[in-house]
Amino acid sequence: DAGVIQSPRHEVTEMGQEVTLRCKPISGHNSLFWYRQTMMRGLELLIYFNNNVPIDDSGMPEDRFSAKMPNASFSTLKIQPSEPRDSAVYFCASSHSLAGGFPGELFFGEGSRLTVL
Amino acid sequence: AQTVTQSQPEMSVQEAETVTLSCTYDTSENNYYLFWYKQPPSRQMILVIRQEAYKQQNATENRFSVNFQKAAKSFSLKISDSQLGDTAMYFCALSQYGNKLVFGAGTILRVKS
């Protein structure tokens, strides 16, 4: 299996521009997570989906952030308009639920490093 | 609410020695899962070890083992025979039924030769 695939690996953009990060989860996994990692705040969960349905988006910082999962094999995280404080590494992870509904082991992508100038 | 606390921002250990990373957590649930993840400089997050709360036996994976103290809500990671490749950021994480995984702030571990 190719693992969780994220694109782009690096993105440099200017303030005000739209940014779209993409994720392909591992085939067969039914949960997908978007995390943001910064030095100041560590690893923050932005949103997660179960069976393509958003379950908890309480971590999405502002209305500028939106996430979609149109099917089981693809998800996007969009920032519009982007700001310098959005600079971070954004991770996508997928998992298969364990018995009893617990989130199983998370398999992470390599992350997308976003720099907003 | 579920929280995970890692009180050691950084640690170092000599190659071949043993090191223990601390983690405490808070949850109102009786059943849950605990994880240790490793993030090397390459940035990719990798699962190190997993513990189910209803199992009393501590999980082990080769040189990695945990000391799970449910009553104290403590979940420490012991790395034996430390290797240079163990240098990484280590995250403790907690998951409850039907809920998300919550991560601690992480501990940077440096293995010195």
What value does the mean pLDDT take over residues A78-91? 96
Out of A40-44, A76-80, B10-14, which region has the weakest mean confidence (pLDDT)? A40-44
Count of pairs with CB atoms under 8 A, one residue in A, one in B? 51
Contact A41, A96 (CB under 8 A): no
Burial class (CB within 10 angstroms; exposed 0-12, middle 13-18, buried 19+) of B72: exposed
Residue A66 pairs with which residues in a beta bridge?
A: A78
Mean of the per-residue pLDDT values of chain B: 93
On the question of pLDDT at A21 being above 90, the answer is yes
Task: Report pLDDT for B44.
Answer: 86
Residue B16 distance to chain A (closest CA, Å): 28
Residue A1: both structure tokens together:
């299996």
CA distance B16 to A102: 36
What value does the mean pLDDT take over residues A58-83? 95
Contact A92, A29 (CB under 8 A): no
Q: Which amino acid is at B53?
A: A
On the question of pLDDT at A96 being above 90, the answer is no
Give the residue numbers in B contacting A (CB under 8 Å), as ranges: 31-33, 35, 37, 42-47, 50, 91, 95-106
Taking alpha carbons only, the member of B78, B77, B76, B73 closest to residue B96 is B73
Task: Report pLDDT for B29.
Answer: 86
Q: What is the pLDDT of residues A26-60, one digit of tens each?
A: 999 999 999 999 988 889 999 999 899 998 898 89
What value does the mean pLDDT take over residues A60-69? 94
Task: Report pLDDT for B41.
Answer: 87
A101/B97 CB distance under 8 A = yes
Judging contacts by C-beta atoms under 8 Å, the chain B residues touching residue A88 are none
Task: Report pLDDT for B43.
Answer: 84
Residue A61: both structure tokens together:
């910082």
Question: Which of A43, A44, A89, A92 to substitute to test the interface with B, most B CBs within 10 Å?
Answer: A43
Judging contacts by C-beta atoms under 8 Å, the chain A residues touching residue B106 are 42-43
What value does the mean pLDDT take over residues B50-65? 93
Residue A78: both structure tokens together:
């969009």
Residue A79's pLDDT band (boundaries 50, 70, 90)?
very high
Taking alpha carbons only, the member of A79, A90, A75 closest to residue A30 is A75
A45/B96 CB distance under 8 A = no
Residue B97 distance to chain A (closest CA, Å): 5
Taking alpha carbons only, the member of A34, A36, A3, A73 closest to residue B47 is A3
B100/A42 CB distance under 8 A = no
Mean of the per-residue pLDDT values of chain A: 92
What value does the mean pLDDT take over residues B91-98? 84
B98/A101 CB distance under 8 A = yes
For residue B81, count other CB atoms closer than 10 A to its CB.
11
Residue A54: both structure tokens together:
């958003």
